[in-house]
Copies of this chain bind each other. A is one copy, B any other.
């Protein structure tokens, strides 16, 4: 079998239910620690690039283009494994996160925890966002 026009292996493409926008949700989890780092979206092209390069590439819905994670900030994600859920609408990426995943400079995007009364920041800022993005 040859790859699809977007470069995805057909058996993988067939197992993924890309939505009406051509997107699938992707959860990034740190290998070993099991921390959930972030959730973002992929289209066929970004998934294909991720598999080819081993560096995680998402699809930015807001910018409407490929989002090579860490391209600006250096906070790259190296793909260790890829799983597909039972109904094919979510991917689980096991990754090696270089530095921090969140644009706020925190390790994970899930740093606000509900304490029953309000959301509390439970993760420290490890890197200055101004340094990460050269602002």
Q: Chain A residues in contact with chain B, CB under 8 A? A: 9, 11-12, 15, 25, 27, 29, 33-36, 38-39, 51, 81-87, 89-90, 92, 102-104, 106, 109-114, 117-119, 122
Contact = CB atoms under 8 A, between A and B. Distances in A.
Contacts of A9: 117
A109 to B, nearest CB: 4
A63 to B, nearest CB: 13
Q: How many copies are assembled?
A: 2
Contact of A119 (B12, B38, B111): B12
Contacts of A84: 110, 112, 114, 119
12 contacts: A9-B117, A11-B118, A33-B34, A34-B35, A36-B36, A38-B85, A39-B90, A82-B113, A84-B110, A86-B103, A86-B104, A92-B110
A85 B114 contact: no
